[in-house]
């Protein structure tokens, strides 16, 4: 007798023929519908380019200003025995702005993904994260591959793969205001950029009340670097006299024309300067007397982490 004819390519086997997973074609058809395309599932490399070993760790570095911040890092690993293993790590960085580093051991396998999610409401700019695969310990290890590098916000955090690696100084910074009710009479107002930050001063509002003592006071704004070298100096004209009260305002990019004191108010322009850690801002006056006082000081600042 002759050999039975081979079915044409693409046709399903007879209903009685068993499939590799144990279902007949008829049963499979009833479960998932007709299959026009099949995929190879054995003998293939996993869909990941990153293989880790037990000698590797997940290095995380966080700069944070938000009190009570909780960040969850989640991933999936394909283990050598074929199991898909989820892994989760949680960190609570301090709200000091200083960079805080963590290192978590990893297992051997293919890393499929890594995500970072905040537990609560987070303003973009207040928490910045960096994550990498690290070989060695926390102090002297070497980062082998960067995975995450971006700010976190309420809706989402950075993710790998597919995320964007951003510097801590990219984009719009965190907008904040700082208010000081008053400084000691006869003393200037000083602001120093924190060690963790880079700052653009958007506006400065200061109220100066002079005492009844006779004398001229010449208010000025001074920006200096951390070696006390002056980088911007703006002095108001004309001079203020005794028993005078005036609101002084400097604002970012008003233009180069500087207005003189008028009706006890003054508005002046600030240049587009980025102040590095340790740089200082001072509002002072030549001829400032013991009874003179700077009050109601409001700074509007745009800041980034200086990582």
Q: How far is CA 252 from the centre of its chain?
A: 23
For residue 178, CA distances in Å to 13, 50, 153 come to 75, 45, 22
What CATH fold (topology level) applies to the domain 51-160?
Answer: Lipoxygenase-1 (2.60.60)
Residue 60, SS3 per DSSP: strand
Residue extents of the structural domains in the chain: 51-160, 174-305
Locus of tokens 């009570």: 68
Mean pLDDT, the chain, integer: 86
Instruction: Provide, rounded to the nearest whole percent, the portion of the chain with pLDDT above 90.
Output: 64
> Alpha-carbon distance 295 to 288, whole Å?
14
Produce one character per residue of 104-131: b if its CB has 16 or more CB atoms within 10 Å, e if not.
Answer: eebeebbbbbbbbbbeeebebbbbbbbb
Determine which of 18-32, 45-59, 222-236 has the lowest per-residue pLDDT on average.
18-32
Locus of tokens 């002072």: 284
pLDDT in tens, 151-190: 999 887 899 998 899 999 998 999 999 999 999 999 999 9
Average pLDDT over residues 241-253: 88
pLDDT in tens, 106-147: 999 999 999 999 998 999 999 999 999 999 999 999 999 999
> Alpha-carbon distance 272 to 281, whole Å?
14
**C-alpha triplet 53, 58, 62: angle, nearest 5°:** 170
Q: What is the CATH number of domain 174-305?
A: 2.60.120
Q: Name 2's Cβ contacts closer than 8 Å, sequence gap at least 6.
A: none
pTM of the full predicted structure?
A: 0.78
The answer on pLDDT for 34 being more than 70 is: no
Reported as a pLDDT band with limits 50, 70 and 90, residue 255 is low
């Amino acid at each position: 007798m002759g050999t039975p004819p081979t079915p044409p390519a693409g046709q399903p086997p007879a209903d009685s023929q068993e499939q590799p997973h144990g279902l007949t074609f008829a049963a499979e058809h009833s479960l998932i519908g007709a299959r026009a395309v099949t995929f190879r599932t054995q003998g293939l490399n996993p869909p990941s380019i990153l293989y880790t070993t037990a000698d590797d760790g997940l290095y995380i570095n966080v700069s944070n200003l938000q009190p009570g911040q909780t960040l969850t890092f989640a991933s999936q690993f394909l283990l050598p025995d074929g199991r898909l293993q989820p892994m989760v790590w949680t960190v609570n960085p301090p709200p000091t702005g200083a960079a805080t580093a963590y290192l978590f051991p990893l297992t051997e396998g293919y890393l499929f993904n890594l995500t970072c999610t905040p537990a609560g409401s987070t303003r973009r700019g207040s928490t910045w994260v960096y994550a990498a695969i690290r070989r060695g310990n926390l102090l002297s290890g070497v980062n082998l591959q960067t995975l995450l590098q971006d700010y976190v916000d309420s809706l989402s955090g950075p993710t790998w793969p597919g995320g964007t690696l951003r510097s801590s100084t990219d984009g719009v910074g965190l907008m904040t205001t700082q208010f000081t009710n008053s400084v000691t009479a006869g003393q200037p107002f000083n602001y120093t950029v924190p060690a963790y930050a880079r700052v653009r001063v958007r506006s400065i509002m200061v109220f100066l009340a002079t005492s009844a003592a006779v004398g001229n006071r010449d208010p000025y704004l001074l920006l200096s670097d951390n070696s006390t070298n002056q980088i911007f100096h703006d002095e108001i004209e004309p001079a203020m006299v005794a028993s005078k009260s005036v609101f002084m305002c400097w604002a970012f990019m008003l233009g180069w024309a500087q207005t003189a004191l008028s009706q006890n108010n003054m508005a002046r322009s600030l240049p587009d300067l980025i102040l590095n850690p340790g740089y200082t801002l001072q509002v002072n006056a030549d001829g400032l007397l013991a009874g003179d006082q700077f009050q109601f000081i409001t700074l509007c600042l745009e800041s980034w982490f200086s990582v």
